[in-house]
A and B are shown apart, each in its own frame.
Chain A
Amino acid sequence: MSSPPLIGGGDDDEGFDWEAAVREIDVACENAKPSSSSFHHSRPSSVLDLDAENRRPAAGGAWNSEVASNYSSSSSLVNNGRRTGNCRQMTLDSFVGKAAAVRQVKKWVVEDVEGSAGSMGEVREGGFSCVEIDAEAAKTWVYPVNVPLREYQLAITRTALFSNTLVALPTGLGKTLIAAVVMYNYFRWFPEGKIVFAAPSRPLVLQQIEACHNIVGIPQEWTIDMTGQINPTKRTDFWKTKRVFFVTPQVLEKDIQAGTCLVRNLVCLVIDEAHRAMGNYAYCVAVRELMAVPVELRILALSATPGSKQQTVQQIIDNLQISTLEYRDENDPDVIPYVHNRKIELIAVPMGKDALDINKLLLDVIRPYVSRLSAVGLLQNRDCQTLSPPDLLNSRDKFRRAPPQDLPQNKFGEIEAYFGGLLTLYHIKRLLSSHGIRPAYEMLKEKLEQGSFARLMSRNEDIKKMKLLMERNLTHGAPSPKLSKMLEVLIDHFKSKESQNSRVIIFSNFRGSVRDIMNSLASISDLVKATEFIGQSSGKALKGQSQKVQQAVLQKFRAGGYNVIVATSIGEEGLDIMEVDLVVCFDANVSPLRMIQRMGRTGRKHDGRVVVLACEGSEMKGYTRKLANSRTITKHMHNGGTSSFSFHSSSRMIPHIFKPEVQFVEMSIEQYIPRGKKVKDATDIQTPIFTKKLTAAESAVVAKYFQPCPWRPSLIAFPSFQAFPSRVHQVMHSHRTGMLIDTMQNLQALSFPLDSRGFSFEDEAASGKCQGTESPNRDDNDEEDLGVGYGTPEHNSQSNSRDSEGPISQKLTTKNLSVLDLTGESHSTHAFLFGSDFVSVDSLGKVLISYVPSLPLKLVSYPRCPDNEAVPLNCAKRSPSHLKTLVEGSSGPTVLQNFCTHLHSLSEDPCKRNISVDGLKLSESAILVGDMVNGGDSVGDSFVDFGINSPCPSADECCHSREDTELSPRLTNMMQNGVVPESPTNDHDLLNDKERAEIITPMKLHTRLLTVSPGPWRNESNAAAVIGEADMADPSIIDQIQTPLRETSAAKVDKIVYSISPAPKASNSSKDWPFSPADDKSDSVKPVRRLKRLRKVGDLEKNKNPGSIKDAPSFHEANPNVCVNGAHRNQPKQGKGKREQFGIIQDFIEEEAEVSENGEVSEDERVDEDDNSYDQSFIDDRINPTAGSAETQPSRVDMMAVYRRSLLSQSPMVRESPSASFTPDCNSSCSSGKNNTTGSSSTNTLHSLRTPLHENQEGLQPSPAVPCTAASNIPTENSTMLEMRKRRKLTFHQPAASVPIINLEEEFSKQLEADPNPSNNIDDPDTHEDMLYDDQFFAALDALEAQATTTQQNRPNLSVQKQDTMLPNSELHGTPTFDLGI
């Protein structure tokens, strides 16, 4: 700061000097000649400060603070450190340092200090442009090594990065790579900078953008190609949003002039085919405009042929502000390795005889005019042979400028005419020599038609002669020697190589000759597929080619559609007309510049050959002369042309502080995506994005399925399939699907035969579904058990059981499946199943036990409800024998016992059974079996002795006793129930219970064990049901227990069902998920069947209602469950309630048992009844144990319905069960007497409410049901059954109606009690269910199938059963009444 005063007086010129100085410094630095800078540099660094100081006031405060601070910082730098050093160097360093400082502060974007800015400001701005530099990126410059490195390219690039460079490289040596690398580095260095690549034609632009992309991979979102085809407003947009522009010079020029090009952000301008930058070509205008702004930017000019003369090259250098010339030719050592051998043949073609004659005539014509002109002194050269059009032009110009003094004015016109005539003649001569007679003739003919030439020559004899000669020659003369020579060359070429893979370009200067060539090529069309490639302008004779056509031609040429292109000069430049093997220059007398371009079409990637056809004579001479010219210019350009040309300074662009190191990078370049057109962009780009990430094989696959595939799936193709629920995987059927199925069934008027066979398919599916539904139930049960907390051990056991059961179940299922055929086989299968079950139970003891425990637990819950608790304890004592959870187990057993007792109450065997079971210490499974057996036993007790049950044969009495002792109320209820069971209702209940239990168990099993666990249970249940049925028919199957049951037939079955049912009930009461789900499932299933059957009957509405009703929180299914539960509750609670419960249970059982029962009795009837009852209200079922029993017979149908429902509901069931399970649980809990949820209460209420209705309905229903059943299967039996049912119903209904209310109250209390348990249970089930969905489904399916088979098997028994049932019914009638009385 101290120095300023010294030079403080620096005038304004200082700034100007500085600008130049700085540039020179930059140049000097590049050349590693730091000291070469001239005078101004000697100033101490302080000068800078001085200037800055001075400027500031001059700027009138326009200097923005940034600049000021920059200066101050620079000054301080200078002052602090550099003063002592070499002055010059100091200056530089300080300058650089300042720049560095500024940059590091990232203040690079110095505001334009327009107007106010002194020269310093301009320098600064210019030097660093207005564009921010990425300091990090500027530490290196990137050179791609995707393609093999070439030293000369690297060297040129290094130069071009830091100074304005004219690169003169022969074609095919990679100018584009240099340009791309430079652009890419500027792209990196200047994150905000704009880069422009200008190429003289649109095809070139498109070609270069792709080439650049493929070299350095500048992201395509930053690049844009802009030609005159894009309207200016759009271009304005692009200028703002894009960073790399590939433009035509005209666009650049116009946009700069229009101000839409953000010139201040320009950092790099690449000019392709720079030899065009002459005169007022757009290149020059654009650069001038940029320099005037002023903008500092890097200019890189590319050309293969900067010029043929030293002057032209200098002009280019001037026009483009070039600082450095980088020239290489094929002979430079660093280039030679990359230059392919390009053989240039000059073929001198003698002119044809005709042509010679014509030429002679022409000369004859010319000679007098030349002599006349030379006489006047206007032509120096008297040799008309060597005169050329340019000479004439020059002379004419001279004449026009300074006409000879002695020439009279009136002669001027004559002389002008001479000149014009001579020009035309010489032109014709040239055409004649280089292109043949035809072009010359056409020219002549055209000229003779009008104009001065015609006036001058029309009467010339020689002209006429010449014209005649030409005509003669054209009509039947030999072709032009050049053409024939060319054909020779082509034929040789294509014969030596495979013509397919060889490409040839023939260059001709005139379109006329192009057509000639095309015509002559037609003669060898077998070898040559030729096309013309000409410019756009349309002349008189020939129409031009639009760019579209040109592109198409090139495309086809690349693809091999053409192998020869006959091109005018348009094909010479830049266009990357792929690799060409042979170039034929049809005319030799062209500028060396164009000759080089022509030759550049070949020898790029491999050896090429150039044939130059030259006529002997003038053309030959011209060619040699021009070759010599080009040699001289190359001499000028060697060594950077420093000696021959004067260069302009240019800024370094990158501050000296940055010394970018070369960094070789393997670029990962995305495939170039040609820019689509406007609106098409969206689709065009989307598909590539889509396919880009796929391999070829993948996209082929995709294409196979998506492109040509007009296939549209039909929704109506298989209406028959829509009448049945399809199998589901994870997603259960929705309600809407159910509606669809119902509707379809309606529309198709499907009649479902009562026979299992008719349903076989559906049944199987349904059974499968039922099983699936069951599985959840089991899980629920298990979970419930767990939830209860009783049976942690139970869980274990259960899990074990599941594991162990798995195979068994599978076996069973398989067996069941095989059994599908029905009756006899089914029985056997059932037997097998049973046997297997037993076996499984034995072996799997735990498993079975687990099941049993669950049931017991449930039972326990029941007992717990009100009075039973005490009893349960007792039972528990017994239960311990079961092994599992002591408490729970005990409770479970007690429950079981209770159930048994209940069952026993019916049959009175349960206690005995339990005892027996305990005594047997069979595994829980055994217990379950035992329970089942007990149930059966109970039934059988009355009839026959069961091995297990035997202890308590007289079930009723025992039960009563036990009930009295243990659960007096319940026992009483049980007794009542038992009584009922004895009656058909009881049987039904039992059956229902069994079925339910079965279902439940399977559910549990399914859920937990998936397929495995469910299997056994199912089997068991099925077996039980089957047994029940089978018992009816085949006592043998059920072994000891079963046999008796069978004997007891319906009664036994019922009992068994009861035993099972209690368990489910218990589970329900305990809020067992399984139960509720099971119930739900059964309910849901039932509704479906009901619907179907109802439809048949006309009860559709009812069916629908039930299905849809299921009002309670729980799903449709849940509701029924609840109802059932409620019924169950009722039963245990009250004697009446018991009955009701039983009824409910029965309903459930019926539903479940319906399958089996249906088999026994006319399924349809029962179904209808059941459906009605279900639909209407659970209460009905409850109330109508008899009806239930009656229904039990139809239950088979119900089973079908259940299956169907299960199928339908599987999805909902399974999933819902977990979530819904809560509600169901609640309901169940309510039923159990642990009224947890409102749902339960509501259900109860509903039940109560419904009961009457149901009764009514039931009463009504039976009649319709009867016909159906009768129609379907066993009319007589059905009718009888119906009658029986009616009776029962009637009887039951009345009592039930009365009972329900009471029950409800009790139930509520029970539910309340039960509440805690359910919650626990709920959680577990959900998880289990979730885990096991699939398996459950399958298992369920299997189980369902098994059940279906069993039911089918049972059917045969139906008659027997019916009879049996008939008997029981009668009994029931009696019993119910008794119950009521009780």
Chain B
Amino acid sequence: MDEQNIDPGLIHEIFKHVWTRTALEREKNERNEAPTDADLVIVGGAGTSKKNRPTSANSNALKLSAELIRIFISEAVQRAAAIAEAEGETKIEATHFERILPQLLLDF
């Protein structure tokens, strides 16, 4: 119903952000375990070994993800708005969000 979609590219960026961060963390952990390999890993950067190959997602998956996130966000906002409205406020506050959050999370 909403014409505006979230740009899949943005979603991709966010995903990549998360992926790389997790990859780095994993790498760090591994390095702690095997410090001798540390330099090689750094030099090779992410993706040299199979294990470290960056995660990827195809375009359709990204589109779907974008849509899911859009629905999730709009739902969250609408529900929070309903709460806020019920309280006679015109601004959605964090507390409104907290009220709908548990059920929202369970609904998704």
Contact A725 B103 (CB under 8 A): yes
Residue of B nearest to A1341 (CB): B82
A229 an interface residue at 8 Å Cβ cutoff?
Answer: no
B3 an interface residue at 8 Å Cβ cutoff?
Answer: no
Contact B98 A728 (CB under 8 A): no
A727 an interface residue at 8 Å Cβ cutoff?
Answer: yes
A682 an interface residue at 8 Å Cβ cutoff?
Answer: yes
- In the complex, chain A residues whose CB is within 8 Å of the CB of B24: 679, 682
A234, A730, A1334 pick with most chain B CB within 10 angstroms: A730
Contact A717 B95 (CB under 8 A): yes
The smallest beta-carbon distance between A13 and chain B, in angstroms, is 49
Contact B13 A690 (CB under 8 A): yes
Q: When each residue 42-82 of chain B gets 1 if its CB lies under 8 Å from chain A and 0 otherwise, what string results?
A: 11000000000000000000000000000110110011001
Contact B95 A728 (CB under 8 A): no
Partner of A730, one of B43, B78, B97: B78
The smallest beta-carbon distance between A1349 and chain B, in angstroms, is 17
B11 an interface residue at 8 Å Cβ cutoff?
Answer: no
Interface hits, A719-750 → B, CB 8 Å: 721-722, 725-734, 736-737, 740-741
The smallest beta-carbon distance between A106 and chain B, in angstroms, is 32
Contact B107 A1211 (CB under 8 A): yes
- In the complex, chain B residues whose CB is within 8 Å of the CB of A717: 95, 98-99
Contact B101 A713 (CB under 8 A): yes
A80 an interface residue at 8 Å Cβ cutoff?
Answer: no
B71, B82, B99, B107 pick with most chain A CB within 10 angstroms: B107
Contact B103 A1334 (CB under 8 A): no
Residue of B nearest to A237 (CB): B43
B1 an interface residue at 8 Å Cβ cutoff?
Answer: yes
Q: When each residue 850-863 of chain A gets 1 if its CB lies under 8 Å from chain B and 0 otherwise, what string results?
A: 00000000000000
- In the complex, chain A residues whose CB is within 8 Å of the CB of B95: 717-718
Contact A737 B82 (CB under 8 A): no
- In the complex, chain A residues whose CB is within 8 Å of the CB of B13: 689-690
Contact B98 A737 (CB under 8 A): no
Contact B74 A732 (CB under 8 A): no
A234, A716, A722, A732 pick with most chain B CB within 10 angstroms: A722
A714 an interface residue at 8 Å Cβ cutoff?
Answer: yes
Contact A1334 B98 (CB under 8 A): no
Contact B99 A718 (CB under 8 A): yes
Answer whether A728 and B79 are a contact pair too, CB < 8 Å, given A233-B43, A690-B13, A737-B107: yes
Contact B82 A727 (CB under 8 A): yes
Interface hits, B13-55 → A, CB 8 Å: 13, 17, 20-21, 24, 39, 42-43
Contact A730 B75 (CB under 8 A): yes
Contact A741 B103 (CB under 8 A): yes
The smallest beta-carbon distance between A1115 and chain B, in angstroms, is 15
A711 an interface residue at 8 Å Cβ cutoff?
Answer: yes
Contact B20 A726 (CB under 8 A): no
The smallest beta-carbon distance between A795 and chain B, in angstroms, is 22
The smallest beta-carbon distance between B51 and chain A, in angstroms, is 17
Q: CA–CA, A234 to B20, complex, Å?
A: 21
Answer whether A733 and B107 are a contact pair too, CB < 8 Å, given A682-B21, A727-B82: yes
The smallest beta-carbon distance between B64 and chain A, in angstroms, is 15
B39, B78, B106 pick with most chain A CB within 10 angstroms: B106
Answer whether A728 and B75 are a contact pair too, CB < 8 Å, given A690-B13, A733-B107, A737-B106: yes
Contact B107 A727 (CB under 8 A): no
Partner of A740, one of B43, B71, B79, B102: B102
Partner of A713, one of B17, B79, B97: B97
The smallest beta-carbon distance between B81 and chain A, in angstroms, is 8
Partner of A729, one of B74, B102, B105, B106: B74
Answer whether A686 and B75 are a contact pair too, CB < 8 Å, given A715-B105, A740-B106: no
Q: When each residue 476-508 of chain A gets 1 if its CB lies under 8 Å from chain B and 0 otherwise, what string results?
A: 000000000000000000000000000000000
Partner of B103, one of A714, A722, A730: A722
Partner of B79, one of A682, A729, A736: A729
Q: When each residue 672-711 of chain A gets 1 if its CB lies under 8 Å from chain B and 0 otherwise, what string results?
A: 0000001100110010011000000000000000000001
Q: CA–CA, A732 to B79, complex, Å?
A: 11
Partner of B98, one of A713, A725, A732: A713
Answer whether A686 and B17 are a contact pair too, CB < 8 Å, given A678-B42, A727-B79, A730-B75: yes
Q: CA–CA, A728 to B99, complex, Å?
A: 12
B100 an interface residue at 8 Å Cβ cutoff?
Answer: yes
Residue of A nearest to B77 (CB): A729
Q: When each residue 229-242 of chain A gets 1 if its CB lies under 8 Å from chain B and 0 otherwise, what string results?
A: 00001100100000
Q: When each residue 884-909 of chain A gets 1 if its CB lies under 8 Å from chain B and 0 otherwise, what string results?
A: 00000000000000000000000000
Residues of B within 8 A of A (CB): 1, 13, 17, 20-21, 24, 39, 42-43, 71-72, 74-75, 78-79, 82-83, 94-95, 97-108
Q: What are 9 contact pairs spanning A and B, CB under 8 A?
A: A234-B43, A237-B43, A679-B24, A683-B21, A721-B100, A725-B103, A728-B78, A730-B78, A733-B103
User: 9 shortest A-B CB distances, which residue pairs?
Assistant: A729-B78, A727-B82, A737-B106, A721-B99, A736-B106, A717-B98, A718-B99, A731-B75, A734-B107
A714-B101, A718-B95 known; 7 new pairs, CB 8 Å cut-off, are A714-B98, A718-B99, A721-B100, A726-B104, A727-B83, A729-B75, A730-B1
